[in-house]
Amino acid sequence: MVTYLYWFGIFALALGLFYIIGYKIDELKIAAIAAFSVLVIGFVAYHFHFQQLFVKRYGGVMTIKVPDDEVHLAATWKDDNLWIENYHPETNTCHFREYSRGNLLQGRVTIKNCNPLLRQPPAAAK
């Protein structure tokens, strides 16, 4: 919900600038540049700062696609970054992937011989 409010505010600000500068002051070229600038700055701010912050703290909206050849196991937050754990059955490896702000600094950890989907029999009591 917060994500939708953010985008509503960005579009309202861009349209408001376009209306005020374009029609009230009669400067359409400057109005178009101002509205476009607000949209670009809003997109960059959302993508590089607000997206995960909204999702984690305020119940925003975010979609991540699991690769076709992997099985999703878990997801967790570390600070404001989302870590996703997937299992690749053909190579028997687990992959932890970090989705950081703007997807610039993404970490990746691979665990070989992970095999989380097979249950191990309980150890025999001594």
Residue 16: which domain range? 2-58
Residue 96 and residue 90 in contact, taking contact as beta carbons nearer than 8 Å: no
71 in the same domain as 53: no
74 in the same domain as 54: no
100 in the same domain as 50: no
Count of C-beta atoms within a 10 Å radius of residue 52: 19
Per-residue pLDDT at 122 exceeds 60: no
33 in the same domain as 17: yes
The residue from 41, 58, 75 where one domain ends is: 58
The residue from 58, 81, 97 where one domain ends is: 58
Residue 109 confidence (pLDDT) = 87
125 in the same domain as 99: yes
Closest listed residue to residue 109, CA positions, set 80, 78, 65, 68: 78
> Tens digits of per-residue pLDDT, 67-107?
898 889 899 888 878 889 999 888 888 998 888 766 666 78
Highest mean pLDDT among 11-15, 102-106, 112-116: 11-15
84 in the same domain as 49: no
44 in the same domain as 28: yes
Residue 118 confidence (pLDDT) = 65
Residue 44 confidence (pLDDT) = 92
52 in the same domain as 72: no
The residue from 16, 41, 58 where one domain ends is: 58
Backbone angles phi, psi at 76, to 5 degrees: -150, 160
> Tens digits of per-residue pLDDT, 34-80?
999 999 999 999 888 888 888 888 877 778 888 898 889 899 888 87
Q: Between 106 and 27, where is the model more confident?
A: 27
Question: What is the rounded CA–CA span in Å between residue 45 and residue 122?
Answer: 50
Report the residue count for the chain: 126
For residue 27, how many C-alpha atoms fall within 13 Å in the half-sphere facing its CB? 9
Residue 58 confidence (pLDDT) = 83
Residue 14 confidence (pLDDT) = 96
Residue 126 confidence (pLDDT) = 46
How many structural domains comprise the chain? 2
73 in the same domain as 41: no
